[in-house]
Structure 1
Amino acid sequence: MFKVLAKINKLILPSFTKQRLDLAKARKWQKAIIAYRYYVTIRAVG
């Protein structure tokens, strides 16, 4: 389930690493997206 969700996230959600976003200056909604993507990716791999 998480592998499919991770692929959907990759297509839909923005990649902040490609945009060179500084985590110290990120807004709350950007941090929430980063945390969500991290959680899904870890669950898909492990």
Structure 2
Amino acid sequence: MKTLFKLLVKINNAILPSYSQKDPNKLSTAQKAVLGFRYWALTNSLK
């Protein structure tokens, strides 16, 4: 299962945009969803 999440993180880094330099309070709802999904995949790949 861990390898699946590691693969998902690699795909996320290649496809999805990064919002690390932006203020989370100023992001749109869709951008917050992308940020949350990336965080969820990363934390599960590290467990």
Q: Quick check: TM above 0.5?
A: yes
Which structure 2 residue ranges, 5 or more long, are not aligned? none
Q: Which has the higher helix share?
A: 2
Structure 1 runs (4+) greater than 2 angstroms displaced: none
Percent identity for Structure 1 against Structure 2: 39
RMSD: 0.6
1:12 aligns with 2:15: yes
1:1-46 equivalences under 5 Å are 1-17=4-20, 20-46=21-47
Which structure 1 residue ranges, 5 or more long, are not aligned? none
Instruction: Report the alpha carbon displacement of residue 43 of structure 1 after superposing the two structures with TM.
Output: 0.5
* Residue-pair matches, total: 44
Amino acid at match of 1:21: K
